[in-house]
Structure 1
Amino acid sequence: MAEAECSAASPAGDSACSVKQEEEAVGVYDSKCIFCRISRGQEPGTELLHSPDEDLVCFKDIRPGAPHHYLVVPKKHMGNCKTLTKDNIPLVKKMVEVGNTILQRNHFTDLEDTRVGYHWPPFCTIAHLHLHVLAPASQLGFLSRMIYRLNSYWFITADQLIERLQAENTAS
């Protein structure tokens, strides 16, 4: 929220505005980022399927590539998967865990028939870390099979990302 909007919203100085401005200053929140706004419930019409966790939210993809297509997103604004380090491995694992929980909550239990991963830069449409959880993978359409293709230049599974992060740190 811009400073003028904060002043207009609350002439006395709304503490929520101050918090948002402070968070933007330290890179925790980006008011221009759709995923930051969704994670804070600021986008009408987006149902949060997982939000009790302090760090992650989950919601349906607006252009689903499979009958179940969810995005798991950190509430804190983070760059794409190329910006991650070994320290982020627990976050990646937690994102997968949340995705699997949402699938099971929506009566999809064949976790072997899923596609779970990240678009690899520069093939990211939104510059905020987000995990795609698609199921059943066996029902991906032609275009979705291309967009979420395993072993491609533009998509990496969560397991592959974890392996890369572990390998980068053993090489250092």
Structure 2
Amino acid sequence: MKKSFCFRGSAAKRAGRTPMADWCVFCDIARRAPASTTALLYSDDKVVAFQDINPSAFRHYLVIPIEHIPTVKNLQRTNEDHQLVSHMVKVGKDLLSQDAPESEEHRFGFHQPPFNSIDHLHLHCLALPFIPSWRQVKYTPLGPLGGFIDVEKLLEKIKPETEVYSQ
């Protein structure tokens, strides 16, 4: 079995980050491995974006960090993680505004374990309607069970704590 290189920087050494397993399809996409045929819609030094292989909506894109971060559970209340997710959202919104300007409703979020299909953080960027309509179930929060977490809720959860200094 082929082993794929995973972009693991210093952030991977922080608590909650784990090295990738023997193989990660999203790491192959992010590093543009020869075996990957996925066409990138966007790329920079932090993230790449591409169409979902099994779209659930009129437009359905994934934005993934180049660094291997397994799931939303590995994100922490740090400026770095908050800025990364904010950047992922900006990329997704920009793509949808270019490719689906007629869509009046968008949804942005992440599946939470055990409901995530791939252990590499990926933001779902959806220009609705869902196609077919029953697919909306996959993108619904399930309360204490997890399910899908809206990006705004996640950003609030990982927002860095600000220190208040008294004088």
Aligned length: 149
Q: Helix, strand or coil for the counterpart of 2:92?
A: helix
Q: Helix, strand or coil for the counterpart of 1:67?
A: strand
TM-score, reference length from structure 1: 0.75
Counterpart of 1:161, as a letter, is L
After superposing on structure 2, the runs of 4+ consecutive aligned residues of structure 1 that deviate more than 4 Å are 23-31
Cα offset for 1:108? Answer: 2.4
Alignment CA distance shift 1:75-1:25 (3 Å): closer
Larger Rg: 1
Mean alpha-carbon deviation: is it higher for 142-151 or for 153-162? 142-151
Indicate conservation of the 8 Å contact 1:103/1:109, yes or no: no
Matched-pair identity in %: 35
Deviations 1:71-117 (A, max 9, x none): 0000111120111012211111100000011112214265x501100
Higher strand share: 2
TM-score, reference length from structure 2: 0.77
1:52-67 to 2 correspondence within 5 Å?
53-67=44-58
For structure 1, the 5+ residue unaligned runs are: 3-16
Indicate conservation of the 8 Å contact 2:57/2:126, yes or no: yes
Indicate conservation of the 8 Å contact 2:48/2:63, yes or no: yes
Give the counterpart of 1:165 among 153, 158, 161: 158
Give the counterpart of 1:155 among 132, 139, 148: 148
For structure 2, the 5+ residue unaligned runs are: 13-18, 163-167
Cα offset for 1:44? Answer: 3.4
Give the counterpart of 1:129 among 121, 125, 146: 121
Question: C-alpha root-mean-square deviation of aligned residues, in Å?
Answer: 2.8
Deviations 1:40-83 (A, max 9, x none): 112432100001x1010000000100010000000111120111
Give the counterpart of 1:103 among 96, 105, 114: 96
Cα offset for 1:166? Answer: 2.9
